[in-house]
Amino acid sequence: MSEVREHLAYSEEHEWAEAVEGQIVRIGITDYAQSLLGDIVFVEFPEPGTSVSAGESMGSIESVKTVSELYSPVTGKVLKVNGLLLDQPELVNGEPYEGGWIVEVEVEGSVEEAFGKLLSAEKYKAIIG
Amino acid sequence: MSELRRTSLFPLYAGYPAVRCIDFGGWELPVQFHGILQEHDAVRKQAGLFDVSHMGEFWVTGQYAETFLQRMTTNDVSRLSAGQAQYTLMCYPNGGVVDDLLVYKLSQDQYLLVVNASNIDKDFAWLSENLIGDVVLENRSEQTALLALQGPMAARILARVTAEQIGKLAPFHFLHQAEVCGRKALVSRTGYTGEDGFELYLDSGDAPHVWRELLRAGEADGLIPTGLGARDTLRFEAKLPLYGQELSKDITPLEAGLGMFVKLGKDGGFIGREALERQKEEGLPRKLVGIELLDRGIPRSHYPVFADGRQIGEVTTGTQSPTLKRNLGLALLETAYAELGTEVEVEIRGKQLRAVVIKAPFYKKTQTTGEGAKP
């Protein structure tokens, strides 16, 4: 059974977003997503400073067998990426909600507004069954 | 959508919580039981057990069986003794590949052909169209299960469940009527992983019993069930071709680097010989090479490869090598760019990333075959 954390916001593409402070949001992929992908061996990040749009691709995640798009759940500007994943992409499998976070984005407008368009933990649970 | 086919072992997969099955050419097969990396590692260091029952088995019987197979395949069947197998290919008259396969010689007038699952119907039709004399072709794929026990511990594990002297079996040799776990099996020292190992052909009804007994016998040596994901990464590192990627009707065995299995000079010739001879004389237009990404990225099947501002080929298979942790690919490139050290570019998601032609196979086993590796 995949873990879904209560305090996070979720996208239908299986990303999570967490309010860090101010307009800053941390983004990763869900436990469900990592379990579907299997052993993750590579993360292609967006460059810091890049503008990203909710629902659009901002990078990719590759397991041994497959390549998956990484979609941004929010609109804004990339502030930083999790450099640890360069050498330890398996953190996305092992700790999808902690050490395996992928990028931090400064959202356009308020975090409340951005999260309003995303799913609650309860709704996300319903999607993944 | 037609229903997916399942092997006789399918009910046992449910015992593995992390098992993931995929549609593989119409078959519902496990891509992993635990995780591809763990399974890959087990086969390189200990042992893994694969269910490859989806593969096709044809029996060829008759006085003219050898003559028939000589004409249908590129390797020299006349060099086989009973109890020996060989890797070979079937070609179209233009030299493109129908399939790659193993030919097992049971006796002068009986052979077993093992073909790719996705090509069973096509191969059977192709062989049927070209039958000669008294030769009878029978498709026993449905009744036959195939288990592959692969890895440095394979011989030691198998020796526990059979009285046969399997440790003495040389590579590409087999025992026809062996008894394994109390069931009849054809046991050959063959595989598709680049490691020592065995393939066991069984009645499909016997496969679940043998599967369970083998796993029990090998548990102490680290034997685990392994899926098609690891099978693909293992064969990739060893540069063993996969039909549909390194081989196809549009790729000749010579381009794929399989010239040693094409005996242009054998008596009587074979279908495709003239075309392959011409290609050899005129020089190969393309060659299969190994590449390594210099920039950050992983090459994948069908990614285009560029040099001098134009496309010069494409990646046939690519992944991050689980053994070497390097981002590697096999690529079919114009011959002018196939020299070791040549720099090329692989287009990945719209970006041209630098890569270099390197030596393949990427992996060769160091342990010798025999009674099993020392722990």
B147 and B42: one domain? yes
Q: What residue numbers bound the domain in which B323 lies?
A: 285-358
Q: How many domains, chain B?
A: 3
A58: helix, coil or strand? strand
User: Quick check: B350 contacting A, CB < 8 Å?
Assistant: no
Q: Would you state the pLDDT for residue B370?
A: 46
Q: What is the mean pLDDT of chain B?
A: 95
B230 and B84: one domain? no
Residue B199 known to bind ligand: yes
Task: Residue B345: give its domain's CATH number.
Answer: 2.40.30.110
Closest CA of chain A from B353, distance in Å:
13
Domain chopping of chain A, boundaries: 9-124
State the Cα angle at A15 between A13 and A21, rounded to 5°: 145
User: Quick check: B322 contacting A, CB < 8 Å?
Assistant: yes
B154 and B129: one domain? no
**Do the domain assignments include residue B244?**
no
Closest CA of chain B from A65, distance in Å:
7
Asked if pLDDT for residue B374 goes beyond 70, the answer is no
Q: What is the pLDDT of residues B310-348, one digit of tens each?
A: 999 999 999 999 999 999 999 999 999 999 999 999 999
Asked if pLDDT for residue B84 goes beyond 80, the answer is yes
**Do the domain assignments include residue B368?**
no
Q: What is the 3-state secondary structure (H, E, C) of chain B?
A: CCCCECCCCHHHHCCCCCCEEEEECCEEEEEECCCHHHHHHHHHHCEEEEECCCCEEEEEECCCHHHHHHHHECCCHHHCCCCEEEEEEEECCCCCEEEEEEEEEEECCEEEEEECHHHHHHHHHHHHHCCCCCCEEEECCCCEEEEEEECCCHHHHHHCCCCCCHHHCCCCEEEEEEEECCEEEEEECCCCCCCCEEEEEEEHHHHHHHHHHHHHHHHHHCEEEECHHHHHHHHHHCCCCCECCCEECCECCCCCCCHHHCCCCCCCCCCCHHHHHHHHHHCCCEEEEEEEECCCCCCCCCCEEEECCEEEEEEEEEEECCCCCCEEEEEEEEHHHCCCCCEEEEEECCEEEEEEEECCCCCCCCCCCCCCCCC
Give the mutation candidate from B31, B320, B324, B348 for the A interface (greatest A CB count, under 10 A). Answer: B320
The size of the A-B interface in CB pairs under 8 A is 38
Asked if pLDDT for residue B64 goes beyond 90, the answer is yes
Stretch B221-235: mean pLDDT: 97
Closest CA of chain A from B375, distance in Å:
27
B48 and B153: one domain? yes
User: Quick check: A39 contacting B, CB < 8 Å?
Assistant: yes
Would the CB atoms of A65 and B349 count as touching at under 8 Å? Answer: no
Alpha carbons B28 and B6: distance in angstroms, whole number: 6
pLDDT band at B368 (very low <50, low <70, confident <90, very high): low
B116 and B159: one domain? no
Task: Residue B95: give its domain's CATH number.
Answer: 3.30.70.1400
**Do the domain assignments include residue B374?**
no
**Do the domain assignments include residue B125?**
yes
Residue type, B307: A
User: Quick check: B232 contacting A, CB < 8 Å?
Assistant: yes
Element (H, E) at A103: strand A103-107
Q: What is the mean pLDDT of chain A?
A: 96
Paired sense of beta strands A51-52 and B27-32, if any: unpaired
User: Which of B139, B166, B184 is where one domain is finished?
Assistant: B139
B68 and B32: one domain? no
**Do the domain assignments include residue B42?**
yes
> Given 3.40.50.10490, 2.40.50.100, 3.40.50.880, 2.40.240.10, which CATH number is that of A9-124?
2.40.50.100
User: Quick check: A69 contacting B, CB < 8 Å?
Assistant: no
Q: What is the pLDDT of residues B139-164, one digit of tens each?
A: 999 999 999 999 999 999 999 999 99
B163 and B102: one domain? no
B348 and B293: one domain? yes
Would the CB atoms of A65 and B229 count as touching at under 8 Å? Answer: yes
Closest CA of chain A from B354, distance in Å:
16
B134 and B147: one domain? no
Chain B from 136 to 195: CB within 8 A of any A CB: none
**Do the domain assignments include residue B253?**
no
Element (H, E) at A16: strand A15-21
**Do the domain assignments include residue B90?**
yes
B38 and B61: one domain? no
Would the CB atoms of A44 and B297 count as touching at under 8 Å? Answer: yes
Task: Give Cα separations from A12 to A15, A95, A119, B113 (angstroms).
Answer: 7, 20, 8, 48
Comparing C-alpha atoms, which of A103, A98, A8, A101 is closest to residue A51?
Answer: A103
B194 and B342: one domain? no
Would the CB atoms of B37 and A39 count as touching at under 8 Å? Answer: yes
Provide the percentage of residues in chain B whose pLDDT is more than 70.
Answer: 97
B152 and B190: one domain? yes
ipTM for the assembly: 0.88
Query: In this predicted model, which residue has the larger pLDDT, B203 or B1?
Result: B203
User: Quick check: A62 contacting B, CB < 8 Å?
Assistant: yes
Q: Would you state the pLDDT for residue A129?
A: 85
Asked if pLDDT for residue B2 goes beyond 70, the answer is no
Stretch B55-66: mean pLDDT: 98
Alpha carbons B200 and B210: distance in angstroms, whole number: 10
CB-based contact A121:A10 (threshold 8 Å)? yes
CB contacts, 8 Å: B303 with chain A: none
**Do the domain assignments include residue B2?**
no
Alpha carbons B127 and B132: distance in angstroms, whole number: 10
